[in-house]
Chains A and B, each alone.
Chain A
Amino acid sequence: MNAPLLRIENLSSGYADFQALFDVSFDLHAGEALALIGANGAGKSTLLKTIVGLLPCAPQMLVHRGDKIGGLSADKIVRRGIALVPEGRRLFRSLSVEENLIIGGERGRAGEWSLERVYALFPILREKRQQPSTSLSGGQQQMVAIGRALMANPEIILFDEISLGLAPAIIKDIYAALPSITSTGVSAILVEQDVTRALGFAQSFVCLQEGRVSLAGKPADHSRADIVAAYFGSH
């Protein structure tokens, strides 16, 4: 197999006086979509935040294209092409929809994503582009958050709980847009509460339990019972 695009190696991380991740290791390959699953508090969001540089870790714990990038500041990570769609969307409330998208792109990598392409992916945003981002519905705000991350032309995009708090019909729309993102060769790590949906979208998965990898592989290679056990703990 080719060298991985992103290697996570014995990664430990957490907050000031609380360690949330212990020796987490897995690889993400170019073009791969990987589902990161686990119960609440398993450390999924912490892992995504560590990858994008919002939480510190040792340099060798994250290897991107052969370079040790652990502990680099968030702005340098984005410029390397790793973008996060954060939990809770967190749009800039004093910026319009279009400004949110522009600011996502103006310091990122060069590439094919543009306002036009984001509007083609989510046509409703074109109509709302001059509006304050806070005036949009939850689903539309999620579209802006995804578009904002895409504007940086990432080669790895991290989705944190993109369906949280949204109506089922909206979730369907958003998931319908994901293949057109990953089909361009972008790799993805998807954190999702809805395990069935996540495993349906991803080619591989990693299950975290209390900050450790409890199971990893391809969804087809593991029984439902194994995954449930890895998810909730079998003891």
Chain B
Amino acid sequence: MDWLNAIVQGVLLGGLYALFAAGLSLIFGVMRLVNIAHGDFIVLGSYLTLVVVQTLGLNPFVAALIVVPLMALFSYVLQRFLLNPTLGKDLLAPLLVTFGLSIIIQNGLLTLFTADSRRVMAGGIETASVSIGGGLNLGVLPLAMFATAIAVILGLEFIFTRTSLGRAFRATSDDAEIAKLMALDNRHIYAMAMALSAGIVALAGIFLAVRTNFDPSTGPMRLIFGFEAVIIGGLGSLWGTLAGGIVLGVAQTLGALIDPGYQVLAGHLVFFLILILRPRGLFPRMDG
């Protein structure tokens, strides 16, 4: 029973990891940019949620209506004026700049909020659960995370395959030079991709803030979980990202069942195992 419970909890946790990973994957897919600050963006989203909840007294999920657009706007500007000029044939320049951003965000948060752990309360949702029989209880919050992850992936799939913006993303990713000849402004397209990614990041940040304690140094580990989910799932595949998140989540909850100290380690071990057995991930590149 414990095992079954751990697996179910792991699957739901995978939803959160898929949220960490989806934005990362989107950015890499469209502009081959590896955002080292991605985890810190998530934590920034968590702090922004904290501020909005404390100052306006909103429920954190209502606060999403403010946090998501703010993060998207911030990231659009960041991409347009800081990251775009670093893009080119060399992957190293954007890597270094986002690494610097990661340090700036962590230290900025440290200065503003101190190193104390924070948590955002959501009026009981965080501890509520529903029974699905057989002695299994599902947390409302994990269910909401998982449902959000599926909604986000469906939404991304719709944008990529059905909309003009999605065509522009794919075309720019295929051949950025020719995309310019379609009257596409790459700088705007890249900034839109970063804004979309940041919207997803903001959702991840809200869930992170409600689910667990966070402090300014929490980001890099979220980045690693996101990376692992992307690589396990296979680069460039949206549903693979969800699968990768689930594999990672289940590995962690099963590891924690053996010994709570093994939770993170078990995830890393499964990640390495998959790198050895299927270096291109479970679902290697489909489009989108």
Q: Which residues from chain A sit less than 8 Å from chain B, CB to CB?
A: 52-54, 73-75, 78-79, 83-84, 86, 90, 92-95, 99, 102-104, 106-108, 148-149, 152
Q: Is the CB of B183 within 8 A of A75?
A: yes
B183 partner, pick from A90, A92, A93, A107, beta carbons under 8 A: A107
Q: Is the CB of B182 within 8 A of A78?
A: yes
Task: Using CB atoms, name the residue of chain A closest to B184.
Answer: A75
Q: How far is the CA of A87 from the CA of B225 in the complex (A)?
A: 43
Q: Is the CB of B171 within 8 A of A95?
A: yes
Q: Is the CB of A92 within 8 A of B181?
A: no
B contact patch SS: helix
- Give me 9 other A-B pairs in contact (C-beta within 8 A), A78-B182, A90-B175, A90-B178 excluded: A54-B180, A73-B185, A74-B180, A75-B182, A79-B183, A86-B181, A92-B170, A92-B179, A95-B171
Q: Which residues from chain B sit less than 8 Å from chain A, CB to CB?
A: 164, 167-168, 170-171, 173-175, 177-185, 287-288
Q: Is the CB of B181 within 8 A of A103?
A: no
Q: How far is the CA of A193 from the CA of B216 in the complex (A)?
A: 62
How many A-B contacts if CB must be within 8 Å?
Answer: 61
Task: Using CB atoms, name the residue of chain B closest to A79.
Answer: B183
Q: Is the CB of A94 within 8 A of B170?
A: yes
- Please name all residues of chain B whose beta carbon is closer than 8 Å to the beta carbon of A92 when the two chains form the complex: 170-171, 174-175, 178-179
Query: What is the minimal beta-carbon distance from A234 to any residue of chain B, in angstroms?
Result: 36
Instruction: Give 18 pairs: A residue, B residue, CB < 8 Å, sorted on A.
Output: A53-B180, A54-B177, A54-B181, A75-B183, A78-B183, A86-B181, A90-B178, A92-B170, A92-B175, A93-B174, A95-B167, A95-B174, A99-B167, A102-B167, A103-B164, A103-B168, A103-B182, A107-B183
Task: Using CB atoms, name the residue of chain A closest to B170.
Answer: A94
Q: Is the CB of B177 within 8 A of A107?
A: no
If the complex has contacts A94-B287, A103-B167, are A108 and B183 also in contact, measured as CB distance less than 8 A? Answer: yes
Task: Using CB atoms, name the residue of chain B closest to A105.
Answer: B182
Q: Is the CB of B174 within 8 A of A107?
A: no
Q: Is the CB of B180 within 8 A of A152?
A: no
8 residue pairs, one from A and one from B, having the closest CB atoms: A107-B183, A74-B180, A78-B183, A94-B287, A92-B174, A92-B171, A75-B183, A94-B170
